Amino acid sequence: MLKLRNVAPILAVALMLTTALGAQERRQGGPPPYDPSKEVTVSGVVKGMETIEVPDGKRSILVLTVNNESLGILLGPEAWVQKQGVTFAAGASVEVVGLTGFRYNGGSAMMPRTVKAGSKTLTLRDETGKALFGGPGL
């Protein structure tokens, strides 16, 4: 009986460590894989562009107003986005094809495949969802 009492705390600690390490591993894995079958199309009006700092560089965020609420469009690496030559003027209407369910600045966000403004389209992912800027996601 004495041995069982000594083993129980060790098992409890081992279970807690395994759970904590599993959760940490999921967080470090980045965004979930892009699934083109779950794409939606959203139309909105440009509020502006923002840049955020992440450990491996800067990321461009297009901020839209959709149904009177802000929606962050997680474009990708700032330098890559700028090289594409597509700009988004405040007040312009845009159409975004991508995945919802992401968060930015406490609000809703999308991971886009394409962003269309007028006659110009910024394509960030191919038809399979692979990022054209070379990374898994934002």
**Is residue 57 located within the same domain as residue 2?**
no
**Three-class secondary structure of residue 110 per DSSP:** strand
DSSP string, 83-106: HTT----TT-EEEEEEEEEEEETT
**Is residue 16 located within the same domain as residue 65?**
no
Residues 102 and 30: their CA atoms lie apart, in Å, by 12
> Residue 83: what pLDDT?
96
Residues 108 and 111: their CA atoms lie apart, in Å, by 11
CA distances to 11, 65, 127 from 121, rounded to whole Å, are 56, 19, 14
| pLDDT-flagged residues of the chain (< 70) | 1-30, 135-138
> Residue 33: what pLDDT?
85
**Is residue 90 located within the same domain as residue 55?**
yes
Residues 128 and 35: their CA atoms lie apart, in Å, by 8
Domain that holds residue 99: 36-123
Q: Is 125 exposed, middle or buried (0-12, 13-18, 19+ CB in 10 A)?
A: buried
Q: Is residue 34 within 8 Å of 129, Cβ to Cβ? A: yes
Residues 129 and 28: their CA atoms lie apart, in Å, by 20
Mean pLDDT of the chain: 83
Report if residue 1 sits inside a domain. yes
**Is residue 41 located within the same domain as residue 14?**
no
Domain containing residue 83: CATH number: 2.40.50.140
> Residue 74: what pLDDT?
96
Token digits for 101?
Answer: 């369910």
Q: How many domains does the chain have?
A: 2
